[in-house]
Structures are given as C-alpha cells and as structure tokens.
Structure 1
Amino acid sequence: MLWVKSHSDEEVAKALQPQFPDADLDVLTTLVGRYKEQDTWRPNPVLTEEGLNHMMKIMEMAGQLDKRAPYEEIVNTEFAEKALDEVKLEE
C-alpha cells in the first residue's frame, strides 16, 4: 500500500495490468485514481471495526450478505500490525 501511495496512477495500473490482461491501460489508470480518491487502498493495513462494518454494508446492499459477523470473531490484526512495525523499523 505504501508503494501504491508513492507511485502514479499509471505506474500502479501498469503493475496491475498483467492481472487484468483484457483491460485497457487507460481504464485501469482511471480506476486506480478513483480507488486512491476513495481511500480504498490505505497505507495502514489494519482492518478496523468501522472498516469491516462499511464493507459488510456494501455487501448487504449488493445482496451478498444475510447476516453480519462480529468483528472480534473474524478479524485478526496481528499480521497487519507486525507489518506496520517492520515498516517503522526500516524508516
């Protein structure tokens, strides 16, 4: 996520393009820009309870979620927090 934040929309789109071979680079670049504007790709990888609730709300609106799961039971932030600690050590 730090790499995405520090690179241009087009650079990120070019890095993603092999995963989406049928997508036009201009379309991918536009989508990357939108995702950045929406703060979809956050440099902090820890999923907060607010973030999970937002995601579940979107899934409910799309008809993909019938029942919400409790944050404490499905989210483990240990790995994300460790990654953040390692990035801080490198700085």
Structure 2
Amino acid sequence: MKWVENSTPEAIAQSISPQFPDADLEILTKVVKRYKDQDTWKPDLVLTKEGLNHMMDIVELAGELDKRAPYEKIVTTKFAEEAMKNIQ
C-alpha cells in the first residue's frame, strides 16, 4: 500500500496490467487515477467505519448499492491489524 500511495497512476497501471490483459493501458491508467483521486486505497489496511461508508457512497453513486450493510456485521479488523504489526 505504501508503494501505491507513493507511485503515479501510470506506474501502478503498468504494474497491474498483466492481471488485466484485455484492458488498454490508457484506460487502466485512468481507472487507477480515479481510484487515487477518490482516496480508495489507504496506506492503513484497517477498514474503519468511515472508510466503509466512503466506499458505500461510491458504490451507491454508481447505482450499484440498494441497501447499506452495518459495519459491525461485515467488517473484522483482526487480520488487517495483525498485518500492520508485521510491516511497521
């Protein structure tokens, strides 16, 4: 996540392009830039309630979310917290 935070959309798109062999690099770069502009990728791996709401706002604006799920029912931070301990 630190690399994504500090890298350009072009560098990220180039790096992930093998996972999207049918995607045009220019379009992939635009998508990555949009994700960065929306602050979709956070350097902290723990999904907060605010982070989930932000994500649901984006999905809702796209017309793809009929009902919001309660944070407490769908999120566990246990694994992310453990991973963060290992990278600090």
Distance 1:30 1:67, change over 3 A: closer
Q: How does 1:32-47 map to 2 (within 5 A)?
A: 32-47=32-47
Relative to structure 2, which stretch is displaced further, 63-72 or 10-19? Answer: 63-72
Q: How many residues align?
A: 88
Structure 2 contact 46–80 (Cα < 8 Å) conserved:
yes
- Unpaired segments ≥5 residues, structure 1: none
TM-score normalized by the length of structure 1:
0.76
2:26 corresponds to which residue? 26
Distance (whole Å) between structure 2 residues aligned to residue 74 and residue 45 of structure 1: 16
Shifted more, 11-20 versus 48-57: the winner is 48-57
Relative to 1, partners in 2 of residues 1:8 and 1:60: Cα closer, same or farther, differing over 3 Å?
Answer: closer
RMSD: 2.0
- 1:84 corresponds to which letter in structure 2? M
- Structure 1 residues 26 and 57: alpha-carbon distance in aligned structure 2, compared to 1, 3 A threshold: closer
Task: Give the Cα separation in 2 of the matches to 1:34 and 1:58.
Answer: 11
Q: For residue 83 of structure 1, what is the aligned residue in structure 2?
A: 83
Q: Pick which of 73-82 and 58-67 moved more.
A: 58-67
Give the distance between the partners of 1:66 and 1:8, measured in 2 at CA. Answer: 33
* Aligned 8 A contact 2:56 2:68 in 1: yes
Give the drift of 1:24. Answer: 1.5
Supply the distance in 2 between the matched residues of 1:29 and 1:41 (Cα, whole angstroms): 15
Larger Rg: 1
Write the distance in 1 (CA, Å) between the matches of 2:33 and 2:76: 29
Q: 1:28 to 1:66 in 2, by over 3 A?
A: closer
